[in-house]
Amino acid sequence: MYTAIIAIFLTGYIAITFEHTLKVNKAAIAVLTGVFCWSVYISVSPDHNHVISQLIEQSGSFSGILFFLMCAMTIVELIDMHYGFEIITNRIRVTDKRQLLWVMGLLAFFLSAVLDNLTTTIVMISLLMKFALDKEERFLFIGIIIIAANAGGAWSPIGDVTTTMLWIDGRITSSNVILKLFLPSLVCAVVPILLASLKIKGKLQKLAVNEDKLITHKIRRDRNIVFFFGIFMLLFVPVFKTITHLPPFMGMLLALGSLWLLTELLHAKKEESEKRIFSVAQALSNVDMQSVLFFLGILISISALEAAGILGQMSTWLNNNIGNTTIIGLVIGLLSAVVDNVPLVAGSIGMYGLDQYAVDHHFWTFLSYCAGTGGSALIIGSAAGVAAMGLAKINFMWYLRKITPLALAGYFAGTAVYLVQMRIHF
């Protein structure tokens, strides 16, 4: 059974990487891979009811992520439809592409610590589209955004789902993870930005803004209201989670519902044809559902590996054959570029108790860093990467050639900084 499921997963994984060669949409491959993995698992299981229960339980987990993604994408579309991102792009005064790279990278780094790496990536890609860059340059910028967003989420208890898991489960404290991981995470982001800046040069041009749409005071007022309220609601998502202890997607649903109500009130007196242009229905039609289905297929596939116990066996093998917590952390981080970091961290939490590694032990803190940043090594290794792959149509092999070396350089540079901190008891 294990061999068949792994073979199906790897076959689908390889097919996704050669999407353009095969001329088959990666979303179709991902969805089929997930269905086949679960089909094999239930066909050889003696207890079908148990497998169905596992699938229902796993569905609750990844459906929450999908709701989160769809709501975040819809909010971003609503803001963009009201020209809200012009407020930021009009204030970016840099005229050099290298300067823009640094601005976008650092903005993604700090924003993801407050929001999360997925929402940050969606917002930053929308901002990036406001600048005139060729395809190669745009892909390079997006690669840096992915790396910086993942690095920024690692040092905040609400910035990355794995760090949040460890925080909620009582393995790390917020003050310790910020203190110990801020500098390594910053280095993890800065090193790739520095290396990428050596590859890019030239003056920057913004795309022309349609001034006809922005001439009236009322439209400017609506734009400002939608932008600032939308950003406020996105920032409120982690606060809502902290207050209510509800899953993050509930906070994102609250954000979408609130912004939806606001836009309905703003445009209530307009003609139906004009009102439709700024409606949620129009925003939903702009959301790339192929990206959502691709994300669904990846999550279904990985959940099958977890339910079958394959990921748990992998964690046990690491413990028995490696033992060293630093090396295990590094390996888990790199494995999270291939499979989702959530089940890997969940497996680690289940495998090691607080009696072995106390709260804020080196293992838990370093695991937060590795699981949060290691996924940047491959574009399908993080939620931010998967979302960017769908939104910007970045080719897997292009990312592997151009961005993976930068991501690995940052990953190991941040690791070195963390280990130095450990030695001097920082």
Question: Quick count: other Cβ atoms within 10 Å of Cβ 284?
Answer: 14
Predicted confidence (pLDDT) at residue 15 exceeds the cutoff of 90: no
Half-sphere exposure of 13 (CA within 13 A, CB side): 19
Where is average pLDDT lowest: 62-66, 216-220, 357-361? 216-220
Residue 55 lies in a domain: no
Predicted confidence (pLDDT) at residue 353 exceeds the cutoff of 60: yes
> Stretch 329-344: mean pLDDT, rounded?
77
How far apart (Å, rounded) are the C-alpha atoms in residues 369 and 93? 33
Sorted by sequence, the CB contacts under 8 Å of residue 116 that are 6+ apart come out as: 153, 158, 159, 160, 161, 237, 238, 248
Closest CA to 253 of 94, 67, 381: 67
**Higher pLDDT, residue 413 or 338:** 413
> Stretch 168-193: mean pLDDT, rounded?
89
Residue 155 lies in a domain: yes
Buried b (16+ CB within 10 A) or exposed e, 179-214: ebbebbbbbbbbbbbbebbeebeeebeeeeeeeeee
Predicted local distance difference test score (pLDDT) of residue 370? 92
Residue 22 lies in a domain: no
How far apart (Å, rounded) are the C-alpha atoms in residues 412 and 337? 14
Is the Cα torsion angle 339, 344, 346, 350 positive or negative in sign? Answer: positive
How far apart (Å, rounded) are the C-alpha atoms in residues 124 and 68? 17
**Higher pLDDT, residue 90 or 331:** 331
Burial classification of residue 244, based on how many CB atoms lie within 10 Å of its CB (0-12 exposed, 13-18 middle, 19 or more buried): exposed
Of all residues in the chain, what percent carry a pLDDT higher than 70?
91
**Higher pLDDT, residue 81 or 149:** 149
Residue 382 lies in a domain: no
What Rg, from alpha-carbon coordinates, does the chain have? 22
Banded model confidence at residue 214, pLDDT cuts 50, 70, 90? very low
| Number of domains, the chain | 1
pTM for the whole structure: 0.70
**Higher pLDDT, residue 338 or 153:** 153
Banded model confidence at residue 350, pLDDT cuts 50, 70, 90? low
Predicted confidence (pLDDT) at residue 213 exceeds the cutoff of 80: no
Residue 12 lies in a domain: no
Predicted confidence (pLDDT) at residue 1 exceeds the cutoff of 80: no
Predicted local distance difference test score (pLDDT) of residue 145? 94
Measured between alpha carbons, how far is residue 157 from residues 112, 163, 406 in Å? 11, 5, 25
Sorted by sequence, the CB contacts under 8 Å of residue 358 that are 6+ apart come out as: none
pLDDT in tens, 153-166: 889 876 777 787 78
Residue 173 lies in a domain: no
pLDDT in tens, 95-123: 788 989 999 999 999 988 877 787 788 88
Burial classification of residue 46, based on how many CB atoms lie within 10 Å of its CB (0-12 exposed, 13-18 middle, 19 or more buried): exposed
Predicted local distance difference test score (pLDDT) of residue 212? 45
Range of the domain at 145: 65-168+178-289
Residue-averaged pLDDT of the chain = 83
Contact 152, 138 (CB under 8 A): no
Measured between alpha carbons, how far is residue 184 from residues 54, 119, 241 in Å? 37, 22, 27
Q: DSSP secondary-structure letter at 287?
A: S
Question: Quick count: other Cβ atoms within 10 Å of Cβ 43?
Answer: 11
**Higher pLDDT, residue 402 or 131:** 402
Predicted local distance difference test score (pLDDT) of residue 339? 67
Predicted confidence (pLDDT) at residue 311 exceeds the cutoff of 80: no
Closest CA to 237 of 257, 252, 227: 252
Closest CA to 109 of 65, 84, 157, 146: 146
> Stretch 282-292: mean pLDDT, rounded?
80
How far apart (Å, rounded) are the C-alpha atoms in residues 98 and 123? 20
Predicted local distance difference test score (pLDDT) of residue 116? 72
Predicted confidence (pLDDT) at residue 372 exceeds the cutoff of 80: yes
Residue 310 lies in a domain: no
Residue 214 lies in a domain: yes
